[in-house]
Structure formats: structure tokens, C-alpha cells
Amino acid sequence: MDAVIERRPPNWRRVGRRLLAWVLIGVPVVLAAALVASADARYLARAGVEEARILLKRRAIAQLVADPKTEPTLRQRLLLVLAARAYAADSLGLLVGETYTSYVNVGRDTLLLVLSGSRRDRLREYVWRFPIVGAVPYKGFFDFTAARRAAAALERDGLDAYLRPASAFSTLGYFSDPLLSTVSDRDTMELVATVIHELAHNTLYLKSQTPFNESFASFVGYRGAQAFFRSRGDTLDAKRAAARWRDGDTLDAKRAAARWRDERTLDVLYAELARRLDSAYAGGPTGAALERTRATVFAWARAQLTGPVGQSLETYDWRWFARAPLNNAVVIAQRLYRMNLNLFEEVYVHSNADLKETIRAIQVRVFTQPGQDPYEALYSRGGG
């Protein structure tokens, strides 16, 4: 018979102290090692710090509106944001949560720089992978010096790079995103369109489907801004309120509709540019032949942007396109927000120009056909 060994009960206080010691010592050591070894870890840590700084500086919009010290123009913009937010929730069915109930002055006119990259001999985007959002063809930098270093590194590797400023970003509702001063300084139409655009991300976001996500949000943003201003029948600016069109739309409603037409015009142009580039690269040109091929195709695009297409735009200044860079990364970045926009418009028309119903129909189509290209799902009439 085996001897019976009496076991003493564990000293849970001692176990707890040891576990706490491991947490207090081990976790910082592991994090420090990760930061030293991984550029991605350092990037995410910096982004987390910047997000924390923004969140800590939040002030409730309701308090700012009530504060007599708030500058009158800012107060008007904040009231407009609250009205647009309420309209997005009540009339469009968007998920607003606590987004845009607070305000932060970031102290500069550019929030972050966004980097896009592509192969030079093929229209293939360089992608970065992140938790939650998956693979995305861009990377945002709060540190502008780090952004320029990253762009230079892509170019040293033989890639095209494109850096552009951005004034807003979305955490997809995971945090209570505040309104930033870089957004509130926009004109009233763009301010409302941006608010509704970002709220659209809270409502529908598909992992690793950036062109669809951004194009959907652009559609909802501009069509939503048009509907919002039309519903108000006025603008905050008395002079602009007097500039009514005969059909009753305000100037801002007209400008939102015109911007949406411009976005669709640019969508068609950049799609044709992408087609021409794909065709030109199919032959596998290298060296001097590749550079001549690129120069020829981009010269065509420049002529369109500064000529008939650019000068037909209602809300963009064609002279900007004359100065803007053109390379594969630029084409990819421009198409992120303008890809197959007419598909969204077709669902809108099919839904009798009811934007709330359109948003619901798009959600039904993409979620009832999982694993399928979301653009292919838009062709479906189910749930429409």
C-alpha cells in the first residue's frame, strides 16, 4: 500500500505576490523587447500614445456650446456637427455611439501624413497589416519625420511612394472619436460630409476591403450631406442662405451633389488610367523602356486632369492637378475613395433615392453573401 502523503493547502497570498511580481516585471520586459526588436511594435505604440493624447484633451461639445468664452464661429460649427450627427442617427440609421460628442484642438493644421506605396512596374499596392482592420494599402503617421523616412525607404526599395496629409481618422466606434480642429476648420459642406463619412465607417466596415469601405463612406458622406442640408432648408451663413436655387436646395446641398458628381467623374478617369497602366505593364518593360512607358501614360492622365476632365469639375480646381504628383502609388491612393462609385449610385436609384434604405440594402447585400467580393454583392437585387 502506498504511503499517504498529506499535502498542505497552497499559500494563496504567496502565489498572488509571485504572480504580481511576474506581471510587474515580466510584462514591461516583454514590451520593451518588442519595441526594440519590432518597427511595427514601435509604430503601434506611437499611435497608441497619440490616440491617448487626443482622448485626454477632449472637451464635451455641449459644454463648449454653452460656454460664453467659446469663439462664435467655432460654436456654430459645433452646433452644425451635433445637428449632422443627430440626422445621421435618426434619418440615415447610422451607428453614432459617442462619436463626435467631444472636441479636441490638435494645435496644427495637419493631423497626420498618410503613406501609400506601389511597385513601379505594376499597379500593385504595398500593404500593411494591423489588428482589427486587417490588410490596408496605406499607413498613417503622426510623426511627420518618420513618415518621410518610411516613404524614402520604399523608394530605396524601388517602389513608388506617395505622402498626403489627412485631417481625420476613425477608430470604427471602438473609441469615442472626438471632432478634431483639423476637421472643424473645413467649409460647412465638407465638415458635414466628413462627419457622416466617418460615422458610415462605424456602421459598415469590412476587414481588408479598404477600397469598398472608403468608397462606401464617400458615397454616404456626400449623399448624406446633400440630404442633411436639403432637410434644413438653410445654412449657418446668412449670405449663403440667401443664395438659394429655384428648386429650394441650399447652396451647401447643391455643392454636396456637385462634389458627388465630381467624385464619380474622377472615378471613371482613374479607372481608365489604371486600365492603361495595366495594359502598358503587361509587356514587362524594364529600365529605360519602363520609364518611357510610364511617362507616356502619365502624360495622358495629366492632359486629362488639366484639360477636359479637370476643367469639367464643379468643386475641384483643375490647377491643383497640374501641380500634383503622378505615379502608381498616387493612382492607388486616389482610387481608394473612388472605386465603382456608380454601383452605390445604382443601389440608391433602385431604392428610390432613399439614402437610409440604400444603406440598409447595401448592408444586406454584403452580409448575405459572405466571402464574396463586396462589389459583386452590390449587383444583387436581394434585400434592395
Question: Where does 9-71 have alpha helices with state H?
Answer: 12-37, 39-56, 61-66
pTM (two decimals): 0.82
pLDDT at 186: 86
- Reading the block at residue 321, the C-alpha cell is 492637378
pLDDT at 115: 96
Provide the pLDDT confidence category of residue 102 given band limits of 50, 70 and 90: very high
Least confident of 108-117, 217-226, 294-303, 374-383: 374-383
- pLDDT mean over 86-92: 98
Q: Give me the amino acid identity at 218.
A: S
pLDDT at 172: 65
DSSP strands (E only) in 28-174: 59-60, 102-104, 112-119, 128-130, 134-136, 139-141, 159-166
- pLDDT mean over 367-376: 83
Percent of the chain whose predicted confidence (pLDDT) is above 70: 79
Greater model confidence, 211 or 29: 211
pLDDT at 370: 67
Taking every pair of Cα atoms in the chain, the longest distance, rounded to a whole number of angstroms, is: 103
Residues 220, 221, 226, 229: is their CA dihedral positive or negative?
positive
Instruction: Find the helix or strand (DSSP H, E) in which 226 lies.
Output: helix 210-232
Instruction: Give residue-wise pLDDT tens across range 25-35.
Output: 544 544 444 44
| Environment class of 124 (CB within 10 Å of its CB; exposed 0-12, middle 13-18, buried 19+) | middle
In this structure, the chain runs to a length of: 384
Residue 241, pLDDT above cutoff 70: no
- pLDDT mean over 200-208: 92
- Reading the block at residue 61, the C-alpha cell is 461639445
Residue 322, pLDDT above cutoff 70: yes
pLDDT at 384: 45
Greater model confidence, 375 or 55: 375
